[in-house]
Amino acid sequence: MAQQHLCSFLLISPAGANSQSLGIGIEAVKARDYKSIILLAAQGDADAQFNLAFMHEAGKSVTQNYAEAAAWYRKAAEKGYADAQKNFAIMYYTGSGFSQNSIMAYILAILAAAQGNESAVKVRDIILETLAREQIAEAQNLAAEWSVGMSLPAIRDFKTGR
């Protein structure tokens, strides 16, 4: 049931992203200029990285490709882009394109929610209901240690202890 609720948050349109300005990449997005978006994203523009990820996740103007979406969401999320953190959290929670990981999903939702992203607060709270006390503590500690520009934290497997 919780996964169904998260799906309603999944496909925010770039035009509806309100926690960050869409910056210089917005004209390229409006024009569906994939080459310009990818160039901006490759140059490190977080707005373009988010938009490119969204395009791949939703199959907008490109073939749907969750692996590409995850790669671009990760880049924007590591820059502190709240909408990318939230969407990446949902991908981890639902297992879209890779193995489902509720702890990583919760970490990302914590990071996005801490920036005041209202939909991330809802996502965070839904994920929280599915975690054990130890998982919550681990995720909160890892989120607290993370800062913009760092790689996203590595997650310990609670079954194996590694």
What pTM, to 2 d.p., does this model score? 0.79
Cα–Cα distance between 153 and 58 in angstroms, integer?
A: 26
- What's the mean pLDDT in 93-117? 92
* DSSP state for residue 116 in the 8-state scheme: T
Query: Is residue 5 scored above 70 in pLDDT?
Result: no
DSSP string spanning 52-67? HHHHHHHTSSS---HH
Q: Tens digit of pLDDT for each residue in 88-99?
A: 999 999 998 778
pLDDT at residue 110 in the model: 96
Alpha helices in the chain (DSSP H): 2-10, 26-30, 34-42, 46-58, 66-78, 82-94, 102-113, 118-128, 133-145
Residue 20 has pLDDT above 70, yes or no: no
How many percent of the chain have pLDDT more than 70?
75
> Which overall architecture, per CATH, does domain 2-10+22-145 show?
Alpha Horseshoe (1.25)
The residue ranking higher by pLDDT, 26 or 151, is 151
> DSSP secondary structure string, 133-159?
HHHHHHHHHHHHH--TTSPPPP---TT
Count of alpha carbons within 13 Å of 80, Cβ hemisphere only?
A: 9
Whether the predicted pLDDT of 7 surpasses 50: no
Q: What percent of the chain has pLDDT over 90?
A: 60
